[in-house]
Amino acid sequence: MLLKDQVAIVTGGSRGIGRAVVEALAREGAKVAFVYKGSEQAAKDLEAHVASAGGTAKAYQGDVADPEAAKRIVAGVLADWGRVDILVNNAGVIRDGLFVRMEPDAWRTVLSTNLDGAFYFCRAVADQMVFKQRSGRIVNVSSVAAEHTNPGQTNYAASKGAVNAFTRALATEVGGRGVTVNAVAPGFIETDMSEAVRNKAGDLIKKAVPLKRLGKPEDIAGVVLFLCSPAAAYVTGQVITVDGGLSLGAAVA
Amino acid sequence: MTQDEIFEKVRQQLVDALSVDEDEVTPQARLQGDLNAESIDFLDIVFRLEREFGIKIDRNELFPESIFQGDPDFVQDGKVTAKGLSELKTRMPYAELAAFEKNPEFENIGDLFTVDLIVRYVQSKLG
């Protein structure tokens, strides 16, 4: 097992990509604390599912956009398990809409969860990883939308572009203390969040993706796991695109 | 705790925090100039001293790096003013300012942060 006895925190962990990340880390021996906001049943199901596979996962309720939530949850994890080796900032939301009609609330909500949430959790684990342990892995889940965006996602693209810049900047600060910071930028992944887009343009997207299929949450979890594993010890400040080649922009032949 | 005992503990913490050899950590060694400390290292040192000695070090107490930032009353033409020197004495009573006062170039302010300064600071905290 790659992560035996390590302690991980995964935000947005009860569904979609987050759930696949929780399962992947737990399968490799990590004790995983995952954060969910509203999906209590999904969180309980996941706890039970991981336990039945012989792993350890514990659900923490909280809204990542709330600065107090990160402090409370990290303190809880430290009380339970005494350290934090891995942080995966995965919680994210969309509030798509054309910019000329975008209300400040749609902007604020997306930035608060996708960007501020990552800041709060990084900040809450920083002393532990940087000073106390001098080791740690941080993985931020970004999006190809930061670089290859579509109309209707100014807020989302801005939040993910900021996450990429934050990832690189933080990597330069904490690298000397054994902490790596990377991001994974998924393309079109089959999750609840992308359902509306898939229903509208799923077939079109499949044709445009060189690998000729949409991504699965496990496709992202695999790369997150790599970045948390000993194999990625010398990787930091990188944004790894995982989109089946979509961003290559190849013509549909 | 005697001054020598404090020095030995401080030395060990600096060896760990800065990845330097023990014999480099002399009382006169400057954290930046001689031991290559970077800004994050100062926070690390504060963290380690708190843990080692069981003391609480307020932000900007031991290494008050931002005392003078952008304040024309304290720094003029690259030199620390009389007012600035008086502020330094208030904020860092454990610092040896005599040499600095003779040539108070602002860019030399980092030279005040020596191993000895930490030892005297810890001594004053422990009472």
d(CA B43, nearest CA chain A) in Å: 9
Residues in A closer than 8 angstroms to B40, CB to CB, are 130, 173-174, 176-177
Q: What's the confidence (pLDDT) of residue B7?
A: 97
How far is Cα B35 from Cα B118, in angstroms, rounded to an integer?
A: 14
Residues in B closer than 8 angstroms to A130, CB to CB, are 40, 44
Residues in B closer than 8 angstroms to A127, CB to CB, are 47
Tokens of A41: 């049943």
d(CA A225, nearest CA chain B) in Å: 28
Best residue in A123, A129, A131, A133 for a mutation probing chain B (most B CBs within 10 Å):
A131
Residues in A closer than 8 angstroms to B38, CB to CB, are 176
How far is Cα B52 from Cα B61, in angstroms, rounded to an integer?
A: 17
Contact B44 A177 (CB under 8 A): yes
How far is Cα A100 from Cα A86, in angstroms, rounded to an integer?
A: 40
Q: How many residues does chain B have?
A: 127
How far is Cα B10 from Cα B21, in angstroms, rounded to an integer?
A: 13
Q: What's the confidence (pLDDT) of residue A215?
A: 96
Q: What's the confidence (pLDDT) of residue B66?
A: 66
Of residues B15, B6, B65, the one with CA closest to residue B35: B15
Q: What percent of chain A stands above pLDDT 70?
A: 100
> Domain A7-244, CATH 3.40.50.720 — does that match?
yes
CATH of range B3-126; options 1.10.1200.10, 3.40.50.300, 1.10.40.60, 1.10.287.3510: 1.10.1200.10
Contact A131 B48 (CB under 8 A): yes
A173 touches chain B (CB under 8 A): yes
Catalytic residue among A36, A60, A120, A156: A156
> Is residue A60 classed as helix, strand or coil in its secondary structure?
strand
> Helices A16-27 and A217-228 meet at what angle, rounded to 10?
50
A120 tagged catalytic? no
How far is Cα A157 from Cα A26, in angstroms, rounded to an integer?
A: 31
Contact A177 B43 (CB under 8 A): no
Helices (H), A1-152: 16-27, 40-52, 67-81, 104-111, 117-126
Of residues B58, B59, B86, B81, the one with CA closest to residue B71: B81
Where do the domains of chain A lie? 7-244
A177 touches chain B (CB under 8 A): yes
Which of B40, B47, B48 minimises the CB distance to A176? B40
Where do the domains of chain B lie? 3-126
Query: How would you classify the pairing of strands A179-186 and A136-141?
Result: parallel
Tokens of A74: 């990290």
Asked whether the ipTM of the predicted complex exceeds the cut of 0.85, the reply is no
Best residue in B19, B20, B40 for a mutation probing chain A (most A CBs within 10 Å):
B40
Residues in B closer than 8 angstroms to A177, CB to CB, are 40, 44
Q: What's the confidence (pLDDT) of residue A253?
A: 65
- Of residues A205 and A108, more confidence is placed in A108
How far is Cα B70 from Cα B73, in angstroms, rounded to an integer?
A: 9
Amino acid occupying residue A231: A
Contact A130 B44 (CB under 8 A): yes
Is residue A189 within 8 Å of residue A214, measured between CB atoms? yes
Checking if the pLDDT of A163 tops 70, the result is: yes
Q: From first to last of the 127 residues of chain B, give the pLDDT tens digit.
A: 899 999 999 999 999 999 999 999 999 999 999 999 998 999 999 999 999 999 999 877 888 766 677 678 888 888 899 998 998 888 888 888 888 999 998 888 888 899 999 999 999 999 8
Mean pLDDT, residues A26-42 taken together: 97
Contact A173 B40 (CB under 8 A): yes
Query: How would you classify the pairing of strands B75-76 and A86-89?
Result: unpaired
Is residue A239 within 8 Å of residue A147, measured between CB atoms? no
Mean pLDDT, residues A188-208 taken together: 86
Q: What's the confidence (pLDDT) of residue B90?
A: 87
Contact residues of B toward A, CB < 8 A: 38, 40, 43-44, 47-48
